[in-house]
Copies of this chain bind each other. A is one copy, B any other.
Amino acid sequence: MDAGALEQAERLVSRAYVSQGADALARRGARTKALLSERRLPRAPWPEPALEALLHDLASMDSNNFDANCGVGEREARVASSLVRRRNLGFAHGIGRSGDVAAEQPKAAGSSLLAKLARCLAADALRVAGYKDVGDVLVLPLATGMALSQTLLALMRARGPGARRVIWPRIDQKTCVKAIAMLGLELVPVPETLVGDELRTDVEAVRAVLEDDPKGVLAVVTTASCFAPRACDSLAEVAKLCKSLDVPHIINNAYGVQAAPIAREVCSAWRKGRVDCVVSSTDKNFMVPVGGALLYAHKDAGALIEAVAKAYPGRACAAPAIDLFATLLGWGESGWRRVLDDRERIYAYARARLEEVAAALGERVLETPGNPISLAMTLDSFDGSGATALGSMLFTRLVSGTRVVDRRKTETVGGYTFECYGAHSDDYPHTYLTVAAAVGTSKEDIDLFCERLLKSAKDWRKKAGRAAARAAADAAEATASLSLD
């Protein structure tokens, strides 16, 4: 309701009352103006109605929502289903143009604004999370794996057909392998080194393989966030190597934005060495539905990201940008800081509770100081096929997300075969399960998990005991029957 309308409103309802309403609308307008001029997280959360009003206004600025528009192209963003229109809040043009996924669209000023603002808010959220000197952020409507492969594709174009090897400190996560394999590149796994309980980057091994033939290397792909007992890679060390040898360096930081120690390591890496691009998932870090990734780097190192944006053929789905935008505005800086702080607390809580459970079961929590998100507890006394059975018991008891790793699995992923797949190592000395203290995990989740784990372990042991007793009885009987002979 603009000034003209408000003036009319005063003829229907007392000026004093309308005036208070007008002030409220003006405060909302000021909020929007501040967002557009400052382009960063608002200090405080935006209330949902304000957020809805802004999304409404933005959608109104797209031509598919113009009353007076007459569209005679092959794509006018008409939406047939009213349910679909509503759930997309009226946005239908997607993001990007044929030329560039970060480009604005003539037919969709609102979508274009939203996409730009989502990038600005994402950059600010990274800054708040500790990513000092981060440059422009690309919000790709692709999950982490596809986003990684886009960065590698851009490097392939830049470095030509001679550079086909990807140096990769081993991380047993399929998506990463497939992102490389899908491009027909040669994956060169570098085994991790075991330090105490923890698997760490073997920097010397990386150096060796790099120095062997730097020009044949397309990139080093390190991993920042991963399952314990693997630690965050030694990003700064690798970055320095890459810088000195002029080799590109991509960091797979799928869900590490939420953990300050990883931010520090990433920043150290791009300050001291070479980092061409960091890739992070939007859903794993910002609690939005699956489908988006952030690509970012130090503000002086944006070339690869720009190349990725400019090579994108055609438009893309706007959903990840919309969801991220709405979530970040709904949090504001204070909300996002609270999410980060809560997670840190839940990590400490999860560790403490898990130690209690481990003690009760005669197991222990592995020492993995280099992993600020994931925890691992040994299951050595459940060995044999037992650990896997325990895992199944947890699944049927509605525990999701825990991983039982029993060291015996060999698996082929994207054409590459790995021993002890899942353990990040051919010979990790324990069977274990993992637990993540990720954004949004609650105290209740941890408590419930500990309760169900204890219960399942007891049930397993009872059953195992019965099986052992039965085996002993069978043996005794066998012996007896033998003696009868």
Contact = CB atoms under 8 A, between A and B. Distances in A.
- Count copies of this chain in the complex: 4
B2 A2 contact: yes
A399 B71 CA distance: 6
Given A56-B56, A339-B80, A75 B33 contact: no
A410 interface: no
B141 A291 contact: yes
Interface string A133-168: 000000001111110110001001100010000000
Nearest to A67: B47
23 contacts: A2-B2, A5-B33, A13-B104, A13-B109, A24-B67, A27-B68, A49-B56, A69-B398, A70-B400, A72-B402, A72-B449, A73-B401, A74-B225, A75-B283, A75-B290, A84-B327, A88-B289, A92-B289, A141-B141, A141-B317, A142-B317, A143-B314, A153-B182
Contact of A116 (B13, B153, B175, B350): B13
Interface string A275-294: 00000010110111111100
Contacts of A75: 255, 281, 283-284, 290, 401, 438
Nearest to A89: B87
A326 interface: yes
Contacts of A109: 9, 13, 17-18, 20-21
Listed residue (A95, A109, A283, A444) with the most chain B CB atoms within 10 angstroms of its CB: A109
Interface stretch (A58-66, A192-200, A237-245, A457-465): A58-66
A319 interface: yes
Interface string A12-41: 111011101110110111101100110100
B28 A313 contact: no
B8 A33 contact: yes
Nearest to A80: B287
A91 interface: yes
Given A49-B65, A65-B49, A12 B87 contact: no
User: What are the 8 tightest A-B residue pairs by CB atom distance, in nearest-first order?
Assistant: A73-B401, A21-B61, A94-B290, A291-B317, A145-B314, A145-B313, A8-B36, A98-B174
Interface in A403-449: 403, 413-414, 435-436, 438-441, 444-446, 448-449
A149 B313 contact: yes
Contacts of A179: 313-314
A20 B392 CA distance: 13
B146 A312 contact: yes
A143 B94 contact: yes
A283 B313 contact: no
Interface string A172-207: 011111110111100000000000000000000000
A401 B4 contact: no
Contacts of A17: 104-106, 108-109, 112
A12 B98 contact: no
A155 to B, nearest CB: 11
A113 interface: yes
Nearest to A440: B78
Nearest to A17: B109
A99 interface: yes
B317 A320 contact: yes
A284 B440 contact: no
Listed residue (A173, A287, A318, A436) with the most chain B CB atoms within 10 angstroms of its CB: A287
